[in-house]
Amino acid sequence: MRQLGRFYLIAILLFLYTPIVVMMAMGFNASPLYELPFTFSTRWYEALLSNQPLLKAGANSIIIALITAVIATTLGTMASVALSRRTFRGRSLLQILLLPPIAIPWLITGTAMLIFFYWSGIGRGMHALLIGHVALAIPYVVLVVGTGFKTVRADLEEAAMSLGSTPVHAFFSVTLPLLYPSILGAALFAFAVSLDQFVISYFLATPGYTTLPVQIYSAIRKGFTPEINAISTLLLLGSMAAILIFARFAKPGDTRDKR
Q: Is 70 exposed, middle or buried (0-12, 13-18, 19+ CB in 10 A)?
A: middle
pLDDT of residue 248: 67
pLDDT at residue number 257: 42
CA distance 193 to 64: 11
Q: Does residue 69 contact residue 194 with C-beta atoms inside 8 Å?
A: yes
pLDDT value at residue 72: 93
User: DSSP 3-state assignment of 89?
Assistant: coil
**Amino acid letter at 119?**
W
pLDDT at residue number 250? 57
Domain positions in the chain: 61-249
The type of residue at 35 is: E
Alpha-carbon gap, residue 196 to 190, rounded angstroms: 10
pLDDT at residue 251, rounded to an integer: 54
Q: How far from chain centre, in Å, is Cα 60?
A: 15
- For residue 142, give Cα distances in angstroms to 17, 97, 102, 125: 29, 12, 12, 26
Residue 83 one-letter amino acid: L
Best CA proximity match to 102, nearest among 138, 75, 66: 138
The H or E element spanning position 57 is helix 52-85
For residue 29, the SS3 value is strand
| Per-residue pLDDT tens listing for the chain (259 residues) | 778 888 888 899 888 888 888 888 888 887 777 777 777 888 888 888 888 888 888 888 889 999 999 999 999 998 888 887 777 777 777 777 777 777 888 888 888 888 888 888 888 888 888 999 999 899 889 888 888 888 877 777 778 777 777 777 777 888 888 888 888 888 888 888 888 888 888 888 887 788 888 888 887 777 667 788 888 888 888 777 777 776 665 554 454 444 4
| C-beta separation of 247 from 164 below 8 A | no
What secondary structure letter does DSSP report for 206? Answer: B
pTM (predicted TM-score): 0.80
Which CATH architecture group holds 61-249?
Orthogonal Bundle (1.10)
